[in-house]
Amino acid sequence: MKIALVGNPNSGKTTLFNALTGSNQYVGNWPGVTVEKKSGKYKGDKSIEIIDLPGIYSLSPYSLEEVIARNYILDEKPDAIINIVDGTNLERNLYLSTQVIDLGIPMVMAINMADVMEKRDEKIDTKKLEKELGVKCVLISAVKNELNNLMETLRSLKPSEERAYLSDDVEEAIQDISSLLKDKDFKRFIAIKVLENDPKIIEKEKIEPGIISRAKELALGLGQKYDDDIESIITSKRYDFISKVTGNIYIKKHSASESISDKIDKIVTNRILALPIFVLVMTLVYYISVTTVGTMATDWVNDVLFGEIIPPAVESFLTSVNCVPWLSSLILDGIVAGLGAILGFVPQILILFVLLALLEECGYMARIAFIMDRIFRKFGLSGKSFIPMLIGTGCGVPGIMASRTIENERDRRMTIMTTTFIPCSAKLPIIAMIAGAFFNGAWWVAPSAYFLGVAAIIVSGIILKKTKPFLGEVAPFVMELPAYHIPTLGAVLRSTWERGFSFIKKAGTIIFLSTILIWFVTNFGFIGGQFRMLDTLEIEYSIAATIGRAISFIFIPLGFGDWQATVATLMGLVAKENLVVTYGIIYGFAEASEEGAEFWGTLASSFTPVSAYALLAFNLLCAPCFAAIGAIKREMNNAKWTLAAVGYQCLFAYAVALMINQFGNFLVYGIFDVLTMVAVVILLAMVYLLLRKPKAHSLKTIGGAQD
Footprint of another protein (CB under 8 A): 57-58, 60, 62-63, 88-89, 91-92, 95, 231-232, 235-236, 239, 256, 258, 261-262, 265-266, 269-271, 274, 366-367, 369-374, 473, 475-483, 706-707
Of 688, 665, 689, 687, whose CA–CA distance to 676 is shortest? 665
Residue with Cβ nearer another protein (48 or 371): 371
Of 256, 261, 267, whose CA–CA distance to 362 is shortest? 261
* Buried b / exposed e along 658-678 (16+ C-beta atoms within 10 A): bbbbbebbbeeeeeeeebbee
> Alpha-carbon distance 37 to 637, whole Å?
12
Residue with Cβ nearer another protein (374 or 640): 374
610 close to 660: Cβ distance less than 8 angstroms: yes
In whole angstroms, how close is the CB of 280 to another protein at the nearest point?
17
In whole angstroms, how close is the CB of 95 to another protein at the nearest point?
7
Residue with Cβ nearer another protein (114 or 659): 114
In whole angstroms, how close is the CB of 70 to another protein at the nearest point?
13
624 close to 425: Cβ distance less than 8 angstroms: no
Residue with Cβ nearer another protein (95 or 497): 95
In whole angstroms, how close is the CB of 86 to another protein at the nearest point?
9
In whole angstroms, how close is the CB of 126 to another protein at the nearest point?
19
Strand-strand pairing, 36-42 and 45-52:
antiparallel
> Alpha-carbon distance 216 to 625, whole Å?
54
> Alpha-carbon distance 155 to 20, whole Å?
15
In whole angstroms, how close is the CB of 192 to another protein at the nearest point?
13
In whole angstroms, how close is the CB of 475 to another protein at the nearest point?
7
Residue with Cβ nearer another protein (121 or 258): 258
> Alpha-carbon distance 677 to 683, whole Å?
10
In whole angstroms, how close is the CB of 247 to another protein at the nearest point?
11
Residue with Cβ nearer another protein (60 or 448): 60
Cα 107 → chain centroid:
32
315 close to 332: Cβ distance less than 8 angstroms: yes
431 close to 621: Cβ distance less than 8 angstroms: no
Collapsing DSSP to helix, strand or coil, 110 comes out as strand
Helices 90-103 + 126-133 axis angle, to 10: 40
Between CA 396 and CA 304, with CA 544 as vertex, the angle to 5 degrees is: 45
Of 402, 399, 464, whose CA–CA distance to 427 is shortest? 399
Fill in the amino acid letter for 376.
F
Q: Which residues pair with 141 in a beta bridge?
A: 146
Which helix or strand (DSSP H or E) is residue 26 part of?
strand 25-29
In whole angstroms, how close is the CB of 129 to another protein at the nearest point?
17
Residue with Cβ nearer another protein (44 or 247): 247
Which helix or strand (DSSP H or E) is residue 85 part of?
strand 80-86
> Alpha-carbon distance 153 to 144, whole Å?
19
In whole angstroms, how close is the CB of 246 to another protein at the nearest point?
10
In whole angstroms, how close is the CB of 454 to another protein at the nearest point?
21
In whole angstroms, how close is the CB of 120 to another protein at the nearest point?
13
Of 452, 559, 571, whose CA–CA distance to 517 is shortest? 571
382 close to 470: Cβ distance less than 8 angstroms: no
Give the number of other Cβ atoms within 10 Å of residue 434's Cβ. Answer: 27
> Alpha-carbon distance 570 to 336, whole Å?
20
Residue with Cβ nearer another protein (339 or 475): 475
Residue with Cβ nearer another protein (483 or 699): 483
Fill in the amino acid letter for 549.
R
Residue with Cβ nearer another protein (266 or 640): 266
Between CA 707 and CA 691, with CA 636 as vertex, the angle to 5 degrees is: 50
Between CA 336 and CA 345, with CA 340 as vertex, the angle to 5 degrees is: 165
Q: Which residues pair with 532 in a beta bridge?
A: 525
> Alpha-carbon distance 415 to 383, whole Å?
10
In whole angstroms, how close is the CB of 60 to another protein at the nearest point?
6
In whole angstroms, how close is the CB of 64 to another protein at the nearest point?
13
Q: How does DSSP classify residue 357?
A: H
Phi/psi region, residue 73 (left: phi>0; alpha: psi -120 to 50; beta: rest), is alpha
Residue with Cβ nearer another protein (370 or 648): 370
Q: Which residues pair with 25 in a beta bridge?
A: 40
Residue with Cβ nearer another protein (249 or 433): 249
In whole angstroms, how close is the CB of 100 to another protein at the nearest point?
14
Residue with Cβ nearer another protein (365 or 657): 365
Residue with Cβ nearer another protein (342 or 387): 387
Residue with Cβ nearer another protein (54 or 423): 54
